[in-house]
Structure 1
Amino acid sequence: MARWNGSWRYALIWWVGVTGVIGLLALIVWGLSGKDGLQTGANLAQLVSVVLVVPTLLVPLWLWRRRLSGPSVLTSEQVSLAKDALAGLVEQQWKTEATRRSLDDPDPIPVIWRQTAATAVMDHPANLTPGVQRLTASSDDIAALTGKFRSMRRRRLVILGAAGTGKTTLAVQLVRELLATRAAHPGEPVPVLMPVAGWDTEVFPRLHQWLASRLDQDYPALRSPDLPARMGEELAVRGHILPVLDGLDELSPAVQQAVIVALNRSLADTDQLIVTSRTAEFAEAVDGAGDVLTSALVIEPQPVTPKTAAAYLKRCLSPQPAAGWEQTLSVLRTAPATTTGPDPGKTLAAVASTALGLWLLRVIYIDGRIDPAPLLDPGRFLGPDQLRGHLFDQLIPALIATRPPSTDPADPFRPHRHHDPDQARRWLAYLARTMTHPPDGSPPTRDLAWWRLAQTTRSITTTTRLAFGLAFGLVFGLVFGLAFGLAGGLTIGSWPSHEPGFANLRLQGREALLTRRLVFGLVVGLVGGLVFGLVGGLVGGLVFGLVVGLVFGLVVGLVVGDHRAWLAYLVATYRLAWAGHLPRTLMPFLDDAHRLGLLRAIGPIYQFRHAEFQDHLAADPRGGRRA
């Protein structure tokens, strides 16, 4: 009902505005047709310009004040509605990711997690919840771990582990299970997983300030007209969000320490928290910060045993596996713990001892239906690093081969287009190098944000600025001269640093909304153009004035507003595509890479599915070309 009332209200305002503009134009035409047409038209133009300018100035002011004022008191119904909406979005987001990762096919990889033995990284036992100490849990029984998490007096958990051991996967499993069972636990906060690498503690000293900013950016549904203003901030500040902060180790050591200090300063007694990090980096951060995370239980994974790894791979095989698998699994089960020189069984067991290694073996050799015999070749791989590198090299062609394109909307886990594996690797390798070694000198990152592409790649050069300025001058010089061209050329330099207002690139189901916005933008442009044009009509006539007004509106529209990040992105992608580094249509390619399982999406940000995969591509000395 509220949505209908809002739509009716906007429709009424729309039609009143359009009718008013038509009426004013008719008035001007009537004035021009009289005895003293030109003079009367000029006088009417001045009057109309005032009539149009006043609402133009007052409406934004009214909207701004309405946004700031908002309701002073939130009702429990409004909070419940916002939490339900957010929970639904997060649940669907990670259900999709879990399907693309094959987390539940046939079951999650059975990684055992135990409380860490490193007492220096965890709070005093007296500050932890009695009964959860000496915790043991398995990834294939996430319900049990979730129950233990809920039993904590302070629900705070740190998930440690080496690269590829399944830290993020366990965090995703916890988020999904908490959401799936929240109906039986009313009042619980909504778990939201986000990369902690985006937290600048100098800009946002408190955790809840940053959470509010990320919720506003990643979940624009919280800005719905049906909800009060600043809903994301209200949820964060009031403790209705369980932040799941992924990848603390991806920050610089100084920033990791600052985050730990900021977390301890931000958390109140009932605030909940889940953090993931590599073990060594977390230990160094805690030591540098001089404190641990208060009341947080710290767990670490145990290596997957050869027998467990062989049993999991067998469950992934068909009931009638291809020749060679029985021998491969037999060698894996009986892999020696120690041996002299390279041993295929020991190398295979070392790779299969992590969740990442098991997943790679499954995707490439089982899903890809490749003969596993080379895995047992004594001279093929000298150690785990060589075998893992081989698996990373085969990952892109394997996923492209096993997931052919489909345009069926009911099949969201297949790409929309076919991609050449070598070309896809070159493009992904360029992105990996740009993220790991940004040309602009900024710190390495795991986050691929489209609005930062122009800045990190330094795509807008001095030549680009001059070309853009000259283009403005040539196109609009007949009306306004070179001044507007130079203005455009100067302002483009700042576009890469702009944050986007909001970018939702999906068209399906949004045609009506986009059409309304387009028509609204055209009307605003025309009204602004008419105001300028009618004033110009005093000296050059009504027709000339309208042309001038429209051009003026176009120029101002290009250099003013939240869309400049998108324009900078377009300039960057044109230049990078011309140089062969990226596809011309980058967004569809990223979407397909996500559907293939090469990337994951967190809000508007893409990440490589595994940090080790990004590092492998970034370090590729062949420039992204497969041997």
Structure 2
Amino acid sequence: MTAVAFVARRLDAHAGVSLADFTAVALTAVTLIPVVWSWYRRGSAPESGLDVEDAARTFAAAVREQWRTEMRVRAVHSPEPIPVMWQLSSNTAVMSKPHLISDDPDFVFAGNSADIEGVARRFRALRRRRLVIMGGAGTGKTTLAVQLMSQLLDSRETDMSGSAGEPVPVPVLLPVSGWDTTVYPRLQDWLVVRLAQDYPALASRGHKSTLAETLVARGYILPVLDGLDEVPQNHRADVIKALNHSLGADDQLILTSRTTEFAAAVPQAGQPVHGAAVITPRMLTPLTAAAYLESCLPAKPSATWRAVLDAVTAGRAPGLAKIVSTPLGLWLVRTVYISTGADASPLIGPLGEDYAALRSHLFDELIPALVQTRPPSVDAADHFRPRRRWDPVATRRYLSNLARIFPPDSTRDLAWWHIARTVHGFRSAVGILVVARLGPGRWPYAVGVATLIGMAVGLVLGTLLALTVVLPPLRPGSGMVPDRTARSTTYGRRLALRVAAGVSVGLAVRMLVGLVTGSTGWVLATVLGLVAGAVVVVASTGRWEYEAPGYADLRLRRGAALLTIGRGLARWLFNGLRIGLVFEAVRLWFGIKTDTGGEPPSMILIGLVAGLAAGSVMEVVKWAETPALTSITTPRLSLRADRTLTLLRMLILGLMVAVLSGGFFWGLLATTSGMDRTLGTAVFVAIGLAFGAVLGLTIGKHHAWLTFTIAAGVLALRRELPWRLMDFMEDAHRLGLLRAVGPLYQFRHANLHDHLSAGPGAAPVARRTVAGVYARVPDAE
């Protein structure tokens, strides 16, 4: 409408047709056609071209391979699974009525961890296939859940043949501590967000929904929720109520929790988990414990070990007998004494009489034992050996600091992208601006004047940008969605971001003008002003340390929808058209002309070109963020993917701005600047490349790799964590001290986490810790 009004005012019937205006109108028409068509079709577009069963089968294969590797690292079958017996809980108050659990009135759930196929059969026999694995610390709850998940994945194809067309869900283990029921009241909504984070392939979008949304909505996901006891005490009952409100008649579930915490949460919720069988372990008998230890020893044990086995069988060492009555205790004894070949006589001495002292001793000796028995290896197939040698004392100190950074009473998840939260003054460190005198004469004066001019021009540009570009809607993202009280603040921050971006552009324009006029002092002064504007942009982007990792996959792959890319380019062209209309209206209103007296090129055409360039950049980034269906994530891969995304943004934006800057000088300024055209173009290309790279580093909503790198460097300088932090955590995982769950690390056992966070060996950490990994914070754009 603005264009029509101004054209009507300035129309000269006797004038010829301007080629530029004709081209602008033609491009505008071409731009509007796909936009209008996409808007018309958006409410009726079917989920075509998506074979959900094939997608589920491919996803199941990826999850199966991922957990096969993790089970080898956790040594679940080394030398054989610990034979823990499981049975229905005798506490009927924590279960539903028997007829809701099984159609068999005489049903009993009796299984053995060493016979996981039998456990899987009993799980399938449940009426709704819902199971709560309840037990004390170290009794093998998570291990059983992992075994059962792996068995269900192995037998999925067989189960599909007898499913009579019903979907056979893919079991996926997720820490339930990441579920904030106040943000996601429905389990399905949280599953969509968390699956997209842990498995980037499921973030692939069809016409109307992501693959994660489709699989969850159609019942193809069996959530294996680990660690209800790790949820804050006042929220455990909320989780149980949310589960019951979310689960339909055919929805399956596996949940683990410590006995005391679950038994207390059920009365608070006023209801058990509907239709779920609750099983508990039997303590390992002395004979069973001794038999397992003997299976880990040579065929002819030494006299010392024979005495230890006899003491366990006869119960002559009470502390030792209690230790080996749980799978965790057996693993500790095997790792510290059997694997290292150490003298086992302390186990039947005074230490074996005191359970607490023996338990603390085993945890203290665990790190040196694993470092000793697992020397470095460069063989990629060796999952039990680290890639480099670590000092046991330093390893203990680093792990203790990690345990305190992520305190057990707040979270069990060691999310690498949240480490930046614990560094005091992190945002200030990112936005530090060192203002120095540039020299004698007029430079100090030039600093103030050039900065003010640049900010003034940029303020107008940024305001127009903020008013002409539609603010994007809030969308859930990786467990961090602002509540209603934060939405106005979030929109205000986004508005401020656009104004600040305009200020930076104004400063950049001021720098270019300084180069054209040959004013070196003003150029240097404006560079300082440009840095100041960049700091304003950084400060207005929100809290980078709360952003989740991004994803980038540069492999060529099928399924890159040309229609989707076309829609994206159409949206960017339309935004460029709107901005061009506003600036063309301003130009025509004030009658702006060039120094030669002629009118500058149509701002509509410039806006369309800029929209096409920006759209090309963003659509390439969006293509890179669409992973292959077989993609899985680990902590290392998630870090690399976010780094790739950041570097891709820097490269593409740097090249785009460099080309536009060089073309701007070559086509518009070369005739009026007095500079050599080749030299000026080269200078503008270099400036554009640098400016675009910085812009690519700071824009967007994924800066996890950047914040992790900065925070890890700060903590390494303080000697609290190693310089190559991700390498250290990966090696700790290979040593068996950490376990991986998607992109997260956790300590091998919660008791180890507790021991390291409370015990000696950690340097004083005089700073904040992660108070809640999935706390609700204002969304950062």
TM value normalised by structure 2:
0.66
1: distance between equivalents of 2:92 and 2:382?
47
**Which of 59, 68, 71 does residue 86 from structure 1 map onto?**
59
Aligned to 2:476: none
1: distance between equivalents of 2:755 and 2:234?
25
Q: What does 1:550-589 align with in structure 2 at a 5 Å threshold?
A: 550-589=689-728
Asked if 1 retains the 8 angstrom alpha-carbon contact of 2:650 and 2:693, the reply is no
**Which of 440, 447, 450 does residue 413 from structure 2 map onto?**
447
1: distance between equivalents of 2:749 and 2:55?
32
Q: 1:316 to 1:66 in 2, by over 3 A?
A: farther
How far apart are residue 481 of structure 1 and its match? 3.2
Aligned to 2:731: 592
2: distance between equivalents of 1:367 and 1:475?
65
How far apart are residue 427 of structure 1 and its match? 0.6
Q: 1:321 to 1:444 in 2, by over 3 A?
A: same
**Which of 423, 429, 432 does residue 464 from structure 1 map onto?**
429
How far apart are residue 486 of structure 1 and its match? 2.8
Aligned to 1:542: 681
Instruction: Please give the secondary structure, in 2, of the residue aligned with 1:436.
Output: coil
Q: 1:54 to 1:425 in 2, by over 3 A?
A: farther
**Which of 530, 533, 549 does residue 659 from structure 2 map onto?**
530
Find out whether 1:179 has 2:150 as its counterpart. no
Find out whether 1:246 has 2:246 as its counterpart. no
How far apart are residue 588 of structure 1 and its match? 1.0
Aligned to 1:616: 755
1:149-177 superposed Cα distances (whole Å, 9 cap, x missing partner): 11112000000011111000000010011
Cα RMSD (Å): 3.7
**Which of 91, 96, 99 does residue 126 from structure 1 map onto?**
99
How far apart are residue 621 of structure 1 and its match? 3.2
Asked if 2 retains the 8 angstrom alpha-carbon contact of 1:468 and 1:488, the reply is no
Instruction: Please give the secondary structure, in 2, of the residue aligned with 1:185.
Output: helix
**Which of 378, 382, 391 does residue 420 from structure 1 map onto?**
391
Instruction: Please give the secondary structure, in 2, of the residue aligned with 1:298.
Output: strand
Aligned to 1:607: 746
**Which of 280, 284, 295 does residue 300 from structure 1 map onto?**
280
Aligned to 2:587: none
Aligned to 2:403: 432
Asked if 2 retains the 8 angstrom alpha-carbon contact of 1:476 and 1:551, the reply is no
Point out the more displaced range, 137-146 or 474-483: 474-483
How far apart are residue 613 of structure 1 and its match? 0.3
Find out whether 1:353 has 2:325 as its counterpart. yes
Length, aligned pairs only: 561
Aligned to 2:176: 196
Gaps of 5+ in 1: 1-43, 337-344, 438-442
1: distance between equivalents of 2:132 and 2:157?
25
Q: 1:113 to 1:93 in 2, by over 3 A?
A: same
Q: What does 1:33-182 align with in structure 2 at a 5 Å threshold?
A: 72-73=46-47, 78-131=51-104, 133-182=107-156
Q: What does 1:479-518 align with in structure 2 at a 5 Å threshold?
A: 481-487=530-536, 490-491=539-540, 494-502=543-551
Instruction: Please give the secondary structure, in 2, of the residue aligned with 1:114.
Output: strand
How far apart are residue 401 of structure 1 and its match? 1.0
How far apart are residue 79 of structure 1 and its match? 1.2
Relative contact order, CA 8 A, sep 6+: which one is greater?
2
Q: 1:434 to 1:468 in 2, by over 3 A?
A: farther
Point out the more displaced range, 252-261 or 172-181: 252-261
Q: 1:104 to 1:134 in 2, by over 3 A?
A: same
1:464 alignment partner AA: A
1:287 alignment partner AA: P
How far apart are residue 193 of structure 1 and its match? 0.6
Asked if 2 retains the 8 angstrom alpha-carbon contact of 1:469 and 1:486, the reply is no
How far apart are residue 388 of structure 1 and its match? 0.9
Q: 1:397 to 1:96 in 2, by over 3 A?
A: same
2: distance between equivalents of 1:260 and 1:266?
10
Aligned to 1:399: 370
How far apart are residue 563 of structure 1 and its match? 3.3
2: distance between equivalents of 1:253 and 1:193?
22
1:37-69 superposed Cα distances (whole Å, 9 cap, x missing partner): xxxxxxx9x99x999x999x99x999x999988
1:453 alignment partner AA: I
Point out the more displaced range, 184-193 or 493-502: 493-502
Find out whether 1:215 has 2:186 as its counterpart. no
Asked if 1 retains the 8 angstrom alpha-carbon contact of 2:426 and 2:711, the reply is no
1: distance between equivalents of 2:111 and 2:98?
19
How far apart are residue 551 of structure 1 and its match? 2.8
Aligned to 1:362: 334
How far apart are residue 479 of structure 1 and its match? 7.2
Instruction: Please give the secondary structure, in 2, of the residue aligned with 1:209.
Output: helix
Asked if 2 retains the 8 angstrom alpha-carbon contact of 1:617 and 1:624, the reply is no
**Identity across aligned pairs (percent)?**
44
1:358-401 superposed Cα distances (whole Å, 9 cap, x missing partner): 111111111111111111112x3552111111111111111111
Instruction: Please give the secondary structure, in 1, of the residue aligned with 2:432.
Output: helix
Aligned to 2:357: 386
Q: 1:143 to 1:297 in 2, by over 3 A?
A: same
Q: 1:236 to 1:368 in 2, by over 3 A?
A: same
2: distance between equivalents of 1:313 and 1:349?
12
1:225-261 superposed Cα distances (whole Å, 9 cap, x missing partner): 8999500111011111110000001011222111111
Asked if 1 retains the 8 angstrom alpha-carbon contact of 2:318 and 2:353, the reply is no
2: distance between equivalents of 1:112 and 1:583?
42
2: distance between equivalents of 1:447 and 1:74?
38
1:550-605 superposed Cα distances (whole Å, 9 cap, x missing partner): 23212321221133222111111011000011111111111111111111111101
How far apart are residue 507 of structure 1 and its match? 9.1
Find out whether 1:235 has 2:284 as its counterpart. no
Instruction: Please give the secondary structure, in 2, of the residue aligned with 1:211.
Output: helix
Point out the more displaced range, 133-142 or 271-280: 133-142
How far apart are residue 505 of structure 1 and its match? 7.6
1:568 alignment partner AA: T
2: distance between equivalents of 1:259 and 1:554?
45
TM value normalised by structure 1:
0.81
Find out whether 1:290 has 2:270 as its counterpart. yes
Instruction: Please give the secondary structure, in 2, of the residue aligned with 1:481.
Output: helix
1:176-224 superposed Cα distances (whole Å, 9 cap, x missing partner): 1111111111141000011001111122111111111111111112346
How far apart are residue 478 of structure 1 and its match? 2.6
Asked if 2 retains the 8 angstrom alpha-carbon contact of 1:192 and 1:241, the reply is yes
Instruction: Please give the secondary structure, in 1, of the residue aligned with 2:47.
Output: coil
1: distance between equivalents of 2:293 and 2:659?
70
Q: 1:557 to 1:120 in 2, by over 3 A?
A: same
Instruction: Please give the secondary structure, in 2, of the residue aligned with 1:561.
Output: coil
Asked if 2 retains the 8 angstrom alpha-carbon contact of 1:82 and 1:222, the reply is no
Aligned to 1:327: 307
Q: 1:224 to 1:406 in 2, by over 3 A?
A: farther
